[in-house]
Structure 1
Amino acid sequence: MRKVLFLLVVCITCFGFSQNNQLFDEANALYNDGKYAEAIDKYEAILDSGQHSAELYFNLGNANYKLNNVAPSIYYYEKALLLNPDDEDIKNNLAGYAQNMTVDAIETVPQVGFARIINNIVNTFNTDAWAKMAIAGVFIFVILFLLYHFSYATSKKRIAFVVSLIGLFFACFSVAMAFQKESLDHKDNPAIVFAKESRVKSEANKTSEEVFRLHEGTKVQVLETYDDWYKIELSDKSTGWIPSKDIKILKTF
């Protein structure tokens, strides 16, 4: 019975992928014919089935850009970049085209000093890579410490001891970097403004003072959630509360 159920699930999954591939090809054909709205409907039908990919989001970004849909084009380019951060085409379309359509010109406050150096080191690798390097460091430490313990030659014992300590230090350093990277990734909660114009408030209620306004396509960081409000931060470190309906979180798949 279990085998039958397993085969049934496999068949349904394969059929779903086949259907989505057909939809993707149809959407691409519509895009090439200049029927961008129809192409978007096809791409979104694939998303509704639960399938996500950088290529799918990239094509959605392109189709929305062709229709001058500012917020959706930036939103989908950003989601594509989350799934494939090294893709130059995504980066070029996002920076070279879509972001030029935004109204808000917000300066980025650069990091300086020691914090900048640490963050640059931390962001060199992802959490998994740092964790693997930590394991490698521990492995080197154990092997060379055993070599130090069982070796009789003084020169070999000295070299093994020094290198084992280096391996231990590297392991501890990598663990620290892994935790720091995990912390940074957890705090990183970007979103895109979808409202044509949104009034950002000093507190999470409609009657509070307006601190500034944002327009569609602007990227923000979500810091807190309270009822139907998000506390956001801009790249210039300005903060305020925005209605949750006015923005879309990027890391929601």
Structure 2
Amino acid sequence: MKPILYILIFLLGTLSFAQNKKVFEQANTLYNDGNYTEALTKYTSILDQGHHSAELYYNIANAHYKLNHVAPSIYYYEKALLLKPNDKEILNNLAYAKNMTIDAIEIVPEVGFSRVIKKATNIMVFDNWAKLSVVLVVLFVLLFLMYYFSQSTSKKRLAFITSVSALILAFIALAFAFNSYDLDQKNQIAIVFAQESQIKNEPNLRSEEAFKLHEGTKVQVIDTVANWKKIKLSDGKTGWVITDDIKLVTDF
């Protein structure tokens, strides 16, 4: 029975992929024809099937942007960027979408060695760094076996040097993988969806208002108490917001 079950699962998966691809193409056609609402419905139907990709999020964001939906467009551009860090098209369109926001928050730039490490880490996502480290370990094993069994002195020397290099690179890739994972855990990005949200000094309605934020503003969640989230802005300001006013980008 098990082989038949596996075949059925494979066929259903293949059929679902083909169907989603067809719907994606239909949505693209609708988008190109200027039917942004219908295109968005098609894109969202793919998302409802559990399919996630940078391309899908990017197209959903584009449709929202064309419909002047401030928060959703920024939200989906940010989700696309999580899957494709440093993608120029996503970054450019995200910058256009941010022009629709009200809040002008100063970004304090990172400096020094930590900035270099973070930039290098963001070249790839965690999964790709992990896969690269595995490939390099396998390459190290193969090259070491070549070194061990080779009779030629020159080949042994070459195999030894390249195997050690592969091992060192594997450790570097593994370190980047762990750093990428750590950054992902700390980087709990959220977008304000409320048209206007009161940010409090403490996690309760009786607390004094610290400041206001408006839809589309990007925040970082650093703590949770009941139905409140403690957020931090790019300029260093912190405060508490009702959970329903924001939406986590990292929720997939």
**Which has more radius of gyration?**
1
Deviation track 1:60-90 (CA, whole Å, cap 9, x = no partner) reads: 1111111100011111111111112243221
Shift of 1:92: 1.2
Shift of 1:112: 3.5
Query: Among the aligned pairs, what percent are the same residue?
Result: 53
Amino acid at match of 1:66: K
Amino acid at match of 1:184: L
Shift of 1:25: 2.0
Match of 2:88 in 1: 88
Shift of 1:196: 0.5
Between the two proteins, the alignment pairs up a number of residues equal to 249
Q: Distance in 2 between matches of 1:35 and 1:135?
A: 45
Match of 1:60 in 2: 60
Shift of 1:9: 1.1
Amino acid at match of 1:83: L
Amino acid at match of 1:208: S
Root-mean-square deviation (Å): 3.6
Deviation track 1:116-156 (CA, whole Å, cap 9, x = no partner) reads: 4554555566556766569969x98xx99xx9xxxxxxxxx
**What pairs with 1:159-238 in structure 2 (closer than 5 Å)?**
178-238=177-237
**What pairs with 1:129-148 in structure 2 (closer than 5 Å)?**
none
Shift of 1:180: 3.9
Match of 2:158 in 1: none
Unaligned runs of 5+ in 2: 148-162
Q: Distance in 2 between matches of 1:120 and 1:81?
A: 14
Match of 1:150 in 2: none
TM-score, scaled relative to structure 1:
0.79
Match of 2:32 in 1: 32
Q: Distance in 1 between matches of 2:14 and 2:134?
A: 39
Shift of 1:173: 6.8
Shift of 1:213: 0.7
TM-score, scaled relative to structure 2:
0.80
Match of 1:2 in 2: 2
Unaligned runs of 5+ in 1: 148-163
Contact 1:134-1:170 at 8 Å conserved across structures: no
**SS of alignment partner, residue 241 of structure 1:** strand
Q: Which has the higher mean CA deviation after the structures are superposed, 234-243 or 13-22? A: 13-22
**SS of alignment partner, residue 28 of structure 2:** helix
Q: Which has the higher mean CA deviation after the structures are superposed, 124-133 or 85-94? A: 124-133
Match of 2:105 in 1: 106
